[in-house]
Amino acid sequence: TEHTIALEKRHRLPGGQTMTDLAGLVVDRARNAEVWDTDGKRYIDFFTGVGVCNIGHSHPRFLADVQEQLAACAVGTFFTDVRSRYYELLSSQLPERLGRIHMFSTGSEAVEAAVKLARAATGRHEVVSFWGGFHGKTQGALGLHGGPRKRHSGPFPPGSHQVPYAYCYRCPLQLAHPACGQRCVEVAEESIENSTLGDVAAIIVEPVQGTNGNIVPPAGYLRALRRLADRVGALLILDEVITGFGRTGSLFAFQHEPEASPDVVVLGKAMASGVPASAVVSRSELVEGTPFAAPSAAASTFGGNPLASAAALATLRILLDEGLPERADRLGASVARRLASWTEEFPFVGNAACAGLMIGVELVEPGTRHPLPKDVTRGVFQHLLAEGVLAMAYDSRIRIYPPLSIPPEHLDEGLAAFERVFRSLSH
Ligand code: PMP
């Protein structure tokens, strides 16, 4: 273990990893919701590469399909049977009007393509995103970020503007839901209207803010943003890179609010269960006749290659055949009850909420909403590791992403470890 870590640290660019470094473990293998390190220690995986493994690690059917495609042909962007079948299956799960799909390799790349598409489709240039929102680390995607990760990386491409998100626990307007009447949406509108920027091409939003701590907005929020987009003449882009593929308890988060009906959806992460794959799905008529529809305008070396397509097809089939989005919804309801008991029992657990199996817990100074210092959460992270649980904890917000296929006893085991750690903190 020490040798592997020392070897890697000698060669790699510092900044390549963060929380996973703190864990100081070397992963050997993984099955469904369990991971083993090279010392043979076993963990419950509440991290899953930031919610990438919705079907569980090393699913036998996934392995078989991907291995078969790898042996047949892995590269190139010719027409392939596997990609056409993937497009057909994905389309069958989406509203009819979202009829155009194009694949890329990473979430950031797909976000940037979605922005280009919106600009091409509307002839407008500005993009509105949200405080606390995160859309990736390439220059264009990071330019949309409404938080600290931008530091030292600019200047960014011009034309982006951030507005408040419905983060009700820490309401940016100091109001309380539902009495606020979703004032944040009105403020967003005023801010767009008063901005010195030009016309808005798109509003891009995460249905649940992932990197900000798995922040679940109130029901009806996406619907309100849909109306806002219509009022300002912009497209609504939903970044479902984390929320997609069942994570929030429906195949896509916007399906909880059908009237939210986006113009463009960005997909990634769990789409191909670890084989890099992402996609932009858009309303059929948006791209026709625009520069974005020109040959090669959206093509890339790896996007939609046979390997990625096979991995995406296998993933989607497994999600559907095994009813994993519904399972996430069911298990999420039991997690929500457990989280409610945590806020009762532990005075330092502030906001604790989930959408399906997208779970966020904030640690605060008891009796306040002040975040607990980073080293306390890091201590919790280390303590959880010792208890055999991998979770995400950078600052005062803990993020939990179990596979949607997690056996209930493993989910319970992981949550019980949290309870032991929290109890030890209480003393
Ligand atoms: N959008 C969202 C909502 C994300 O959470 C992320 C990654 N955390 C991205 C986009 C960027 O994806 P990638 O890291 O694959 O570029």
Mutate to test the pocket of ligand 1, among 109, 165, 241, 397 (most ligand atoms within 8 A of CB): 241
**pLDDT at residue 197, as a whole number:** 65
Mutate to test the pocket of ligand 1, among 17, 104, 108 (most ligand atoms within 8 A of CB): 108
Distance CA 414, CA 351 (A): 19
Interval 323-336 mean pLDDT: 98
**pLDDT at residue 138, as a whole number:** 94
Write the Ramachandran bin of 182: left for phi over 0, alpha for psi from -120 to 50, otherwise beta: left
Core vs surface per residue 149-158: b (16+ CB within 10 A) or e: eeeeeeeeee
Find out whether the beta carbon of 209 lies less than 6 Å from any atom of ligand 1.
Answer: no
Atom of ligand 1 nearest to the CA of 111: 10
Q: 264-288 pLDDT, tens per residue?
A: 999 999 999 999 999 999 998 998 8
Ligand 1 centre distance from Cα of residue 122 (Å) = 25
Find out whether the beta carbon of 51 lies less than 6 Å from any atom of ligand 1.
Answer: no
Binned at pLDDT 50, 70 and 90, residue 294 comes out as confident
Q: 49-70 pLDDT, tens per residue?
A: 999 999 999 999 999 999 999 9
Q: Who contacts 148 (Cβ-Cβ below 8 Å, separation ≥6)?
A: none
Find out whether the beta carbon of 210 lies less than 6 Å from any atom of ligand 1.
Answer: yes
Q: What is the 3-state secondary structure (H, E, C) of the chain?
A: CHHHHHHHHHHCCCCCCCHHHHHCCCEEEEEECEEEECCCCEEEECCHHHHCCCCCECCHHHHHHHHHHHHHCCCCCCCCHHHHHHHHHHHHCCCCCCCEEEEECCHHHHHHHHHHHHHHHHCCCEEEEECCCCCCCCHHHHHCCCCHHHCCCCCCCCCEEEECCCCHHHCCCCCCCCCCCCHHHHHHHHHHHHCCCCCEEEEEECCCECCCCCECCCCCHHHHHHHHHHHHCCEEEEECCCCCCCCCCCCCHHHHCHHHCCCEEEECHHHHCCCCCEEEEECHHHHCCCHHHCCCCCCCCCCCCHHHHHHHHHHHHHHHHCCHHHHHHHHHHHHHHHHHHHHHHCCCEEEEEEECCEEEEEEECCCCCCECCHHHHHHHHHHHHHCCEECEECCCEEEECCCCCCCHHHHHHHHHHHHHHHHHHHC
Cβ atoms of 279 and 293 closer than 8 Å? no
Find out whether the beta carbon of 111 lies less than 6 Å from any atom of ligand 1.
Answer: yes
Distance CA 359, CA 381 (A): 15
Write the Ramachandran bin of 408: left for phi over 0, alpha for psi from -120 to 50, otherwise beta: alpha
Interval 14-29 mean pLDDT: 79
Rounded to the nearest 5°, which phi and psi values hold at 305?
Answer: -70, 165
Interval 238-259 mean pLDDT: 96
Binned at pLDDT 50, 70 and 90, residue 374 comes out as confident
Rounded to the nearest 5°, which phi and psi values hold at 279?
Answer: -160, 155
Strand 126-130 versus strand 160-163 pairing type: parallel
Ligand 1 centre distance from Cα of residue 134 (Å) = 7
Binned at pLDDT 50, 70 and 90, residue 406 comes out as very high
> 194 or 214, which is more confident?
214
**Closest residue by CA, ligand 1 atom 12:** 107
Find out whether the beta carbon of 325 lies less than 6 Å from any atom of ligand 1.
Answer: no
Peptide bond into 155 cis (omega under 30): yes
Cβ atoms of 309 and 80 closer than 8 Å? yes
- pLDDT > 90? residue 11: no
User: How many angstroms separate the Cα of 43 from the Cα of each of 27, 33, 379?
Assistant: 10, 8, 17
Distance CA 206, CA 230 (A): 18
Neighbours of 336 (CB within 10 A): 16
Find out whether the beta carbon of 106 lies less than 6 Å from any atom of ligand 1.
Answer: yes
Complex ipTM > 0.90: yes
Domains of the chain: 2-55+323-426 (3.90.1150.10), 60-321 (3.40.640.10)
Binned at pLDDT 50, 70 and 90, residue 16 comes out as low
Atom of ligand 1 nearest to the CA of 240: 3
Q: Who contacts 210 (Cβ-Cβ below 8 Å, separation ≥6)?
A: 50, 51, 134, 241, 242, 243, 358, 399
Write the Ramachandran bin of 86: left for phi over 0, alpha for psi from -120 to 50, otherwise beta: alpha
**Closest residue by CA, ligand 1 atom 4:** 135
**pLDDT at residue 87, as a whole number:** 97
- pLDDT > 80? residue 43: yes
